[in-house]
Amino acid sequence: MSLWKIALRSIQQRGVASVLTMASMALGVTMVVAILSIHGVVAESFSNSTQTGYQLIVAATKGGKLQVTLNTVFYLSRPVENIPYDYYLEFVSTEQRDREYRSHSMQYELRRVTSRVLTTAAAVGPAPVPAVLLAQAAAEQFDYRASIQPLINQSIARWEPGRPTKYGRMVAFAIPVCLGDYVETFRVVGTTPDFFDKLRYGGGEGRAYRFASGRNFRTYSREHGYFEAVIGSVVARRLGLKVGDTFSPSHGASEADGGESHHHEFTVVGVLAPSGTPNDRAVFVNIEGFYLLDDHAKPLGEGDAFARPKRVSAVSGRAHEDAEHHHGAHGHDHEKARPLPIEQREVTAVLVRATSGPVTLGLQNKIDEEDNAQAVLPILEIYRLFEVFVNPIEQLLLALTVMICIVSGISILVSIYNSMSERKREIAIMRALGAERTTIMAIILLESVMLALGGGLLGWLAGHTLNALASGMVERMTGVQIGFWTFAPGIALLEFPWGGHNVVWKVSTEAIIIPGLIGLAVVVGIFPAWTAYQTDVARSLAD
Amino acid sequence: MNQPSSRPVLLLENLEKSYVEGDGQILRVLDIPRFEVAAGEQLAIVGRSGCGKTTLLHVIAGIARADSGTVLVDGIDLAALSEPARDRVRAAKIGYVFQTFNLMPGFTALENVLLGMTFSRQKRSESRARDLLQRVGLGARLKHRPNQLSVGEQQRVAVARALANHPRLLLADEPTANVDPKNQQAIVDLIRSTCRHEGVALIMVTHAMEIADQFDRVERLETLNQVLQSTETTS
């Protein structure tokens, strides 16, 4: 018969007291597991959010860096001021910027109209053309210039074809982000397809975003024009949306909070697989469609309503048409819609990945020095947020749970110690049968360890069952998926170079529970074990 | 059946044992010039209540330490050993049957016998435990706990447990005191026959002369003990 079995029999013999003692320990361990799980969820959520494939957020100078981060990364807090779209274009390649200007800018349109006036004037020379044509072209050019001049004046960097962009050479990619609209309570993010093509999430190299169904939205498609959308997994589940469904964002706030619904409908073309990032709880729409929504265009100068050339008024006037007969002419609208001119565009933020790590800081300094915008390192802000808020709360909770475990440990001590007087005879019998004092001591310590481990196992099971039961709620709240077999994040116990790589041996913090419990059990078991050690055999047998 | 060897299994020489009483007075309990038990021998020790019979057994078993003198058990002087060493000798060479049986309440009959083997360095054998219980008539009650056994059955388990480690000497401290008269003789017979079968020397302490008279050798502790002799002379 092993000492373990003797200890087990002793525990069984005092069934009720043992069960209560183990329950006390189980409660403590349940809380430890729960706290570690919460920490894991928070840490993973933060980790997923920080490793998004970009290093800088460029946003308006108004608003603090933390607000920019909360707003852009977590979609919390209200959006800060916007920055002009032409400033965003300073982060892309010269070719891309020129292409965009030629495709949909008023400045290019002005050049074109001016060129037409000159061509008309040239034509008047040798072969007389009705003077009215020249006058009409000149008036059109004059009115148009007058209407867009205020917008051009607001430009941070005026367009000159072929002029190298300011930051393009330092940037691997830049992705514009427009915020401010909602679908129900979920934030709408106007962006480009690059958001899912180029960004990554999670630790290390990062993982590409996957689609549970459908595909990424396109800048323009024949079926849906500029009005394609991708929705996060939580949004899909909560709103019951799927690929092919349509929705209308509301402006400024959720409809419940007084936001007015736009009249355009976006079509869901993709549903993201759960990523554990805030993106699970967001709606992503094509930025071109976003700009075409009501009130999303920067107003033109005075008289624009009647002075704009037809081509331009077709863009801005489209909203008015849609406002009147949007629902019935959905498909037809896509063919009529043209992108909003660059001068009327703004972005909330630009997500920037620099060409290399060292360049990031140089780029940040350069942006900050010029004072047109601010560059925020989101990882730094999140780390500070973590340090200021999350870590202290987590440490407080952990301290509480450690105290609970110590109290549970003391209950083991009390339970065993109280049983000592009634067990003196049993101890004396074992001693009379040849058990050494140290053997008796070992049996008492084993008993303490078994009570602690038994309670610990029950607590572990209860803690993970809680994880499983709370998985739905946690995923809804944080986007992080947990389940029964989700363990607390690992801590690196050993790190060494091997074959050109760094091998890291990680162990879940939950694994510390086992040696921790054994240590606690030994500490609290020492006192009753010492009492047992000192048992006077002859006297106890006589009693 | 094992044959008794010529070497005494127990030899006490100039054994002295005293206790300090509550008022600080020293009370000498044992003062035995010489006492010897041959291997396989069976004897009864009788004496009036409180004369030190149990103390004598405790000293022989190494549970209590003699103040002076020699306690040779199978050639090993317990008086010269440390406590852990005495524990080991006790586990290997001495069986002990108590007046109140002292079975472990949470253990089955079989486990109680196995418990006797746990603290010995000899190889543990469940078959040996089963055999012993079979021999004491409890083959069908291996899984019963003490509270499910009669008083007589409990004492049988205690006998089996005491013999589990093939001891050289069995100490039985008033083993029939708590047994009903009908079972008393059966218990004595069982202990004696089993010891004979195992070749184990037996010292049975009893206050019942009808039991003591069945032994070829009966020692009065008062006769062995010089302290008690002087006390009796004085009184």
Q: pLDDT digits over A426-456, tens only?
A: 888 888 888 889 999 999 899 889 988 999 8
Interface ipTM: 0.87
Q: How far apart are the first and last CA of chain B?
A: 47
Q: How many C-alpha atoms does B177 have within 13 Å on its Cβ side?
A: 14
**Closest Cα of chain B to A421: distance in Å?**
15
Share of chain B above pLDDT 70, in %: 94
Residue A302: what pLDDT? 47
- Distance between B210 CA and the closest CA of chain A, angstroms: 25
Cβ neighbours of B104 in A, within 8 Å: 9, 426, 429-430
**Surface-to-core class of residue B213, CB atoms within 10 Å of its CB (0-12 exposed, 13-18 middle, 19+ buried):** exposed
Least confident of A273-277, A297-301, A310-314: A310-314
pLDDT at A349: 94
Tell me which of B50 and A428 has the higher pLDDT: A428
Q: Is the pLDDT of residue A27 over 80?
A: yes
Position A93 pLDDT exceeds 50 = yes
A435 to chain B: nearest residue by CA? B119
- Percentage of residues in chain A having pLDDT higher than 90: 26
Q: Which of residues 438-477 of A touch B (CB under 8 A)?
A: 438-439
pLDDT digits (tens, 9 = 90+) for B86-114: 999 999 999 999 888 889 888 999 999 99
Band of the pLDDT at B168, cuts 50, 70, 90? very high
Nearest Cβ partner for B115 among A1, A437, A538: A1
Residue A140 has pLDDT above 50, yes or no: yes
The whole-angstrom distance between B132's CA and the closest CA on chain A is 16
Considering only the beta carbons, identify the residue of B104, B114, B119 that sits closest to A434.
B119
Residue-range domains of chain B with CATH: 8-234 (3.40.50.300)
Q: Say whether A244 sits in a helix, a strand or coil.
A: coil
Q: Which residues of A touch B114 (CB under 8 A)?
A: 1
**Is B105 in contact with A13 (Cβ distance < 8 A)?**
yes
Nearest CA to CA, how far is B88 from chain A (Å)? Answer: 6
Q: Does residue A434 sit at the B interface (CB-CB below 8 Å)?
A: yes
| Of residues B45, B50, B87, the one with CA closest to residue B172 | B45
User: Which residues does chain A have within 8 Å of residue B116's beta carbon, measured at their own beta carbons?
Assistant: 433
Q: Examine the pLDDT at A311 and tell me if it is beyond 50.
A: no
For residue A14, the chain B residue with the least C-alpha distance is: B106
Confidence of residue A128 (pLDDT cuts 50, 70, 90): low
Of B202, B140, B144, B138, the residue nearest B175 (C-alpha): B202
Helix (H) / strand (E) element for B20: namely strand B8-20
Lowest-pLDDT range, A72-76, A105-109, A321-325, A401-405? A321-325
The owner of tokens 């009147």 is A324
Taking the Cβ of residue A15 and every Cβ of chain B, the question of whether any pair is shorter than 8 Å is answered with: no
Residue-wise pLDDT tens digits, A344-391? 899 999 999 999 888 888 999 999 998 889 999 988 887 787 778 777
Q: Cα(A15)–Cα(A19) distance, rounded to whole angstroms? A: 6
Interface of B with A (CB under 8 A): 54-55, 58, 61, 63-64, 83-84, 87-88, 90-92, 96, 98, 102-107, 111, 114-120, 124, 161, 165
A503 burial class (0-12, 13-18, 19+ CB within 10 angstroms)?
Answer: exposed
DSSP state of A268: E
A491 touches chain B (CB under 8 A): no
The mean pLDDT value of chain A amounts to: 80
Residues of B in contact with A538 (CB under 8 A): 55, 58, 63-64
